[in-house]
Amino acid sequence: MGFEYVKALHIIFVVTWFAGLFYIVRLFIYQTEALERPEAERKILKPQLDLMASRLWYIITWPSAVLTLIFGIWVLSYRWGYMQLGFMHAKLGFVFLLYVYHGYSHVIFKELQAGKARWNSTKLRLWNEVATILLFAIVFLIVLKSTVSMLQGIAGLVGLAVLLMLGIKLYKNYRIKKGE
C-alpha cells in the first residue's frame, strides 16, 4: 500500500478516535447526572446510557485507537528520518499522553458501567477538554514541524486551557441560573 493511502487511513482513524473520545466523556457526564436522578428516572436512563457508552467505547473508540497506532507506526516507517527531529519527539510525547488519557478514560468507563461515579459532571467537563488540548498540540506540531514554534504553541495551549475552563465555568453558572 502506498504512503498516501496509509497516511489517509491514519488520519481517518485519528478523526474517529477523537470523535469517540469527545463523545464518550459527554456520555460520562450524562451517566453521572443520571445517577443523581430519582430512582424511576435512573432505572430508565442508566441502562440506555450504559449501552450507548459501551457501543461507542468498544465498537468505535477502542478500534480507532488501535488502528491509529498501527497506521501511525506505518506512516512513521515511511518517514523514519523524522525521528531525528525534535518536533517528532514532542509530537510522540503528546500522543503518548493521549493514550494515557484514553486508558484513564477506560477506568472511568468501567466505574460508570458499574454504577460508581467518582467524578462530578464539572470535573468530567474539564476532563473532556484534556483531549482538546492534546489534539491542538499534536496537530500544530505535525503541521508546523518545529519545536521553536512549540514554545509559542505551549503559550497558546495554556491560553486555550484558560479559555476552556472559563467557558466551562460560565456554562455551569448559566445552568445554575436556568435551574438545571
The predicted-structure confidence for 125-175, as pLDDT tens digits, reads as follows 989 989 988 998 898 888 888 766 666 776 777 787 788 888 888 888 888
Q: How many residues does the chain have?
A: 180
Residue 147 or 2, more confident? 2
Residue 88 or 99, more confident? 99
Closest Cα to residue 71, out of 7, 2, 143, 18? 7
Q: 46-50, 118-122, 143-147: which has the highest mean pLDDT?
A: 46-50
**Distinct helix (H) and strand (E) counts, the chain:** 6, 0
Average pLDDT in the 66-88 region? 90
Residue 129 to residue 22: CA distance in whole angstroms? 9
**The pLDDT value given to residue 41:** 93
**The pLDDT value given to residue 86:** 79
Mean pLDDT value across the chain? 91
Cell of 144: 508546523
The pTM of the full predicted model, rounded to 2 decimals, is 0.84
Q: Flag whether 123 is marked binding.
A: no
- Tell me the CA distances in angstroms from 73 to 68, 79, 84, 133, one per residue in order: 8, 10, 15, 22
Q: Residue 169 CB: number of other CB atoms within 10 A? A: 13
What single-letter DSSP state applies at residue 115?
Answer: T
Q: Flag whether 91 is marked binding.
A: yes
Average pLDDT in the 46-69 region? 98
- In this structure, what are the phi and psi dihedrals at residue 93, rounded to the nearest 5 degrees? -65, -45
Q: What contacts 18, CB < 8 A, 6 or more positions away?
A: 131, 135
Average pLDDT in the 71-92 region? 88
Average pLDDT in the 96-123 region? 96
**The pLDDT value given to residue 75:** 94
